[in-house]
Structure 1
């Protein structure tokens, strides 16, 4: 139980319940990351402490935005090794989670995690964000779309905002320096039906890591022409 107290403290600081059952799921998840990372490139962070602080606790910090605690469903765009979607699911078992990623090898890994951790009401989608938000069963159907992907806010907004229902939120997990990125994205966020509501600063326990949650509220429908076709979003970002 080496890291239990650290994770328990991180959860308590966000008003979350943590117990041995959840802790054991996180440890199994960590072991699966380390095992699969020898076969496919999931993360450059492979040591126990790094995974727990930089992936697990960093993902848990999304709960600082209180709306998430009562959200019915969430889609994690470009989820990679499952961040923040799987930690969200472990902490809040009642929320429905969809994990979307474009690389099939990662989807196979995520399905293994879901199976081994016996997680319920969570599923994966193999595909591009631009394609699935055009489908009626996904478009504007989620209380929250989130992403911890490395793309800038302008690009991420076009990927994520079409999935969010009106009154819901897009939450981007970003690093410490985002002011310029936010300024550049403001027009695009408005065009896509959103409004920047808040930037929540978060700190990772027992580390110098400081990150931000960028909170965008969906206030009107995303116009039908968005997202644009695959490749265009990143090559010609909205102005």
Structure 2
């Protein structure tokens, strides 16, 4: 079929050449690092996030294109999708955690916010861009989930419930697209130290610092971006269903080596 045999440029040094990658939540953290890494791989990168000033600065520095995007707003998602002509790779990175309360003290507004951005926002953007991904002839949908989407832990119910939703969303979409030229890939990071995630969740930089205290070399955003870049530059018949990536110091969700 015309258009089905162009998943990669023949230039192995720039495997993303000729392909367009969309990254949501690209103004900071894993999203920003992923956008920069994909641009370095030769992709034309479209960056989406709410904070347009930060987004534009990053886009200018990597040669990408910044478009304002709020995945919780259907009108914003529709406008974003309408402004993108081609999509070969979609990295669903927008997300976050906003509390660490036990279920007995659940803040339902926080639960709703967490589900809205992590799950419904991901569904909105994927649905809006799926026609373009199909039309590319060799599309990739990347879901940025978490080890929290695979195992629960105390004080994490709102986030783990949402990320479990992302995990099953990826599994379901892969089944539904079976036989079509669109891969569905899931990256599930463990402990990643970024400038905003834990601070947004816990309310202060001091509380965020305590999460990583004594942990030798937690992952950083660039480590996860490296995993995304590797996954989407495999030959298109190779599907990375699920990649779990943790720092060496974290053997499991509850097992973290800490130095005194």
TM-score range, shorter chain: 0.3 to 0.5
* TM superposition score normalised by structure 1: 0.44
* Larger Rg over CA atoms: 2
Q: Which has the higher strand share?
A: 1
Higher RCO (Cα < 8 Å, 6 or more apart): 2
